[in-house]
Amino acid sequence: MIIYALLASLSVGVPVIWYLLSPEAAGKSLEKFRVWLVHNNAIVMAVLFLVLGINIVGKGISGLTS
- CA proximity to 16, closest of 8, 6, 26: 26
Q: How far is residue 28's CA from residue 34's CA, in Å, rounded to a whole number?
A: 10
pLDDT at 2 over 90: yes
Domain ranges of the chain: 2-65
The arithmetic mean of pLDDT across residues 23-35, rounded, is: 95
Evaluated on CA atoms 61, 62, 65, 66, the torsion sign reads negative
Q: What is the pLDDT of residue 63?
A: 87
Alpha-carbon distance values, 7 to 18, 33, 41, 59 (Å): 16, 21, 25, 25
For the chain, what is the mean pLDDT?
94
